[in-house]
Amino acid sequence: AKKGILIKGGEYLENAGKISAVALDKTGTLTEGKPRLIDIEVLQPQPVLAGADGQEDRRLGGWDAGQRAVLRLAGIAETLSEHPLARPILAEASRYEALPEPHSFQMLTGRGVTAEYQGSRIAVGTLDLMSSLGVAVSVEAENRLATLKSGGKTAVLVALDQAVIGILGIADSLRGNAAEMVRELKRSGVKRVLMLTGDDRRTAEAIANQAGITEVHADLLPEDKLNIIRQLKQEGHVVAMTGDGINDAPALAAADIGIAMGTAGTGIAIETADIALMADDLMKISQAIALSKSTLRNIRQNVVIALLTVSVLLAGVLLGQVHMAGGMLVHQISVLVVIINGMRLLRA
């Protein structure tokens, strides 16, 4: 606990020392969890703000009128959302005006959100969401979407009724120690390090390459993450899942060890996890696993010391070489050795 690692029971401490596969969520775990809205691509038909002509000389805060119109509609749709990617949209949109709440709202896990406002439907999310709503996505929109994703950005479509009106590009920087953490995991004996994310494959692979992760599973829904965790367990791995969001909760619960990023994590993720990291320090993942391995190793050493001491004393008594005072002295020395050996963990 002094190191900011909260382990919720001895069973989880033991299991953590046996971990052979670690699955990592991308957003808020490998990345800083501070996404920023970087791009607003405006598509036709272009919505126009009341009293604005959308010209370059009418820019406010870096966005022109058309971009602000797309941003405003996306902000209204995301007003009631708890998804991490809603934060940068709301933060940017609220710079210009107080956003009204939609008349109705629906969150479609892993796909996006829909909302009704002033008789129109606003949808913000993935290609799959648009397809399920019957919204046609033009070749131009798909090309712009691919360009944003290839740069490591999370790109979401914004639709008004049956037309895609824009694309938002959101960037979340890789944590500075992510690559080091991955190396430490492999050095400690973890055989497989995986990225599990609901993001598009292009976006996921761009981040994974920076972190040194070669096994990437993208475009995942919460149930897909759950199935991958179950598959790893069926293959004989002791699995740790690390995440911070609502979408990670099923996988966190199914893993042998669920690890939640404490201050960045949602309440349900922290509640579901077996280990909570109380700081946004990615190295604490490898530290928690290393601490568990050290603890198990220390326990085994102490058991061996105790058994050897008892065996030697028993043999000495049977052979008449050890008397009571000498036996008691040796026993107490062995107890001190065990205590001192255990105290080494305080420096781990």
Over the chain (348 residues), the average pLDDT of each successive run of 10 is: 72 81 88 88 63 42 84 94 89 90 90 93 94 93 90 90 94 89 90 90 88 92 92 94 78 88 58 75 81 82 88 83 79 84 71
Pairing of strands 154-160, 120-125: antiparallel
Q: Using alpha carbons only, give the angle 85, 91, 95 rounded to the nearest 5 degrees.
A: 155
- Which of the following is catalytic: 25, 64, 200, 256? 25
Domains of the chain, residue spans: 5-31+174-289, 36-171, 293-347
> Token match 């939640």: residue?
260
Bridge partners, residue 256, by sequence: none
What pLDDT is recorded for position 261?
76
What pLDDT is recorded for position 315?
85
Instruction: Considering the domain delimited by 5-31+174-289, tell me its CATH architecture.
Output: 3-Layer(aba) Sandwich (3.40)
What pLDDT is recorded for position 270?
64
Phi, psi (deg, nearest 5) at residue 72? -60, -45
> Token match 């979407």: residue?
145
> What CATH number should be reported for the domain whose range is 36-171?
3.40.1110.10
Bridge partners, residue 174, by sequence: 31
What pLDDT is recorded for position 57?
41
Compute the chain's Rg from CA coordinates. 27
Whether the Cβ atoms of residue 254 and residue 222 lie closer than 8 Å to each other: no
HEC string for the chain: CCCCEEECCHHHHHHHCCCCEEEEEHHHHHECCCCEEEEEEECCCCCCCCCCCCCHHHCECCECHHHHHHHHHHHHHHCCCCCCCHHHHHHHHCCCCCCCCCCEEEEECCCEEEEEECCEEEEEECHHHHHHHCCECCHHHHHHHHHHHHCCCEEEEEEECCEEEEEEEEECCECCCHHHHHHHHHHCCCCEEEEECCCCHHHHHHHHHHHCCCEEECCCCHHHHHHHHHHHHHCCCCEEEEECCHHHHHHHHHCCEEEEECCCCCHHHHHHCCEEECCCCCHHHHHHHHHHHHHHHHHHHHHHHHHHHHHHHHHHHHCCCCCHHHHHHHHHHHHHHHHHHHHHHHHC
Bridge partners, residue 125, by sequence: 112, 157
What pLDDT is recorded for position 54?
42
Q: Using alpha carbons only, give the angle 182, 184, 187 rounded to the nearest 5 degrees.
A: 115
Q: Which of 36, 38, 37, 41 is nearest to 164 (CA)?
A: 41
**145 exposed, middle or buried (CB, 10 Å; 0-12, 13-18, 19+)?**
buried
Contacts of 333 (CB under 8 A, 6+ apart): none
Q: Catalytic site residue 248?
A: no
Q: Tell me, yes or no, if the pTM score tops 0.85.
A: no
What pLDDT is recorded for position 121?
95
